[in-house]
Structures are given as structure tokens and as C-alpha cells.
């Protein structure tokens, strides 16, 4: 069982902000900052290392568009765009995903 496969299949609800036939993006259930979201391929792969090139490219294309949109809407001052690979690097869900973590110069909290 894979939680992100279940979210992608609509079996588990998520706060979705973008979806197409290959990718879904939703807000993180335990956000690091206001607006923290995840861009996830619908096809299961464990991490960036084993993601097919066409899927990888589309994930990052969507990530770039959403990063721009989040900057516009949230008026954040910066953003961390990252993917963790394997437990040693902090990966807890073994289904490839890209984090978009908006950052705020004055108030980097969840309020």
C-alpha cells in the first residue's frame, strides 16, 4: 500500500491544487510553512532516482508553474523546492514527490 498512490487514485482525500492525467499536487498535511504543497506523479516510483524521464520532466514543469502561482498568490519572499531521496535524507513517503515550501522574510511561521 502507498499513501500517495491512494491519494492519486482519489481513494484518500487531499487538498488538491492541481491535477492532470500524470500529476497531482496537494497541500502537505503537516506543513513546514504556510502554503507547503507536494507535486506527485500518479505513476508510482520510489524516488527521483527511478522516476522515468518523461514523468520527471512533467513533475518539474508543473512544480515550476505552481511555484510561480504560489509566489503570486501568497506573496512569499522565497521558496524551497526539494525532493528527499531515501530515509537517510528524510524521505518518509516512498513515492517520488517534490516539495514546494514558500518562505516568508518577516514571519516564517504557519500563521
Question: Which residue is catalytic, options 36, 95, 97, 99?
Answer: 97
Residues that bind ligand 5GP (CB under 6 A): 3, 14, 26, 28-30, 38, 84, 90-93
Is the Cβ of residue 106 or residue 109 nearer to ligand 5GP in the bound state? 109
Residue 97 touching Zn ion (CB under 5 A): no
Residue 45 touching Zn ion (CB under 5 A): no
- Cβ atoms of 63 and 100 within 8 Å: the answer is yes
Is the Cβ of residue 92 or residue 109 nearer to ligand 5GP in the bound state? 92
Query: What are the residue numbers of the active site?
Result: 97
Amino acid at each position: 500500500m502507498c499513501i500517495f498512490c491512494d491519494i492519486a487514485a482519489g481513494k484518500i482525500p487531499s487538498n488538491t491544487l492541481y491535477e492532470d492525467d500524470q500529476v497531482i499536487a496537494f497541500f502537505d498535511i503537516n506543513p513546514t510553512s504556510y502554503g507547503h504543497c507536494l507535486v506527485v506523479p500518479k505513476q508510482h516510483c520510489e524516488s527521483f532516482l527511478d522516476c522515468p524521464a518523461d514523468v520527471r520532466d512533467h513533475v518539474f514543469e508543473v512544480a515550476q508553474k505552481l511555484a510561480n502561482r504560489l509566489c503570486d498568490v501568497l506573496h512569499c519572499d522565497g521558496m524551497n523546492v526539494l525532493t528527499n531521496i531515501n530515509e537517510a535524507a528524510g524521505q518518509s513517503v516512498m513515492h517520488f514527490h517534490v516539495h514546494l515550501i514558500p518562505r516568508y522574510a518577516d514571519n516564517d511561521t504557519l500563521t
